[in-house]
A = this chain, B = another copy of it.
């Protein structure tokens, strides 16, 4: 690329850093209940900068989803590299509880929260992004299930569906239920796999 003329002022903020902060806000409050005014406060930059960097509130959110996935990689990686079948999946359920725990709150899963909030009305780009995310996790479950050679293909498929839905349940339940209830849930959910 040619430099047409001159360089000028550079951005006084790091886009990755401010997205990280925005993500926290969306995570706690949901999409609609997070206003652009709240975003500029949390991100520490004003609306001009937000719109110049990310185009729209939607644009900010999409970047937040990317950042969320990257953040989640900390626990999905463990699952991905695990070689112990169902045990590894169960560990992932517990890892998620730690992951979603806030200082003083229960935030659940940003992706699940958003699907539940926006449903069919949501921006289609966001919605596909979210569905892909779910399928990726389900694929990881299927991978681990296949490590048990006793399970035939139909069983793997059925149990992957089961675990995917259970994970959705955990995301929601983690926002509402007590630690004991959540442990009862996970322990019972894995008794017969």
Question: A165, B177: Cβ atoms under 8 Å?
Answer: yes
A123 nearest CB across to chain B (Å)? 13
Max chain B C-beta neighbours (<10 A), residue from A29, A113, A164: A164
Question: B161, A165: Cβ atoms under 8 Å?
Answer: no
A168 within 8 A of B: yes
Q: Which residues of B contact A12 (CB under 8 A)?
A: none
- Report how far A192 CA is from B168 CA in the complex, Å: 18
> Could you mark each residue 153-167 of chain A with 1 if its beta carbon is under 8 Å from any beta carbon of chain B, else 0?
000011101101110
Question: B32, A175: Cβ atoms under 8 Å?
Answer: no
> Could you mark each residue 111-150 of chain A with 1 if its beta carbon is under 8 Å from any beta carbon of chain B, else 0?
0110111011100000000000010000000000000000
A189 within 8 A of B: yes
Question: B32, A188: Cβ atoms under 8 Å?
Answer: no
Question: B33, A121: Cβ atoms under 8 Å?
Answer: yes
Interface of chain A, helix or strand or loop or mixed?
A: helix
- Report how far A159 CA is from B188 CA in the complex, Å: 7
A75 within 8 A of B: no
A169 within 8 A of B: yes
Q: Which residues of B contact A190 (CB under 8 A)?
A: 192
Question: A168, B161: Cβ atoms under 8 Å?
Answer: no
- Report how far A192 CA is from B161 CA in the complex, Å: 15
Q: Which residues of B contact A105 (CB under 8 A)?
A: 120
- A-B contact list, 10 entries, CB within 8 Å: A30-B119, A112-B172, A116-B175, A158-B184, A165-B169, A165-B184, A166-B166, A168-B177, A169-B169, A169-B173
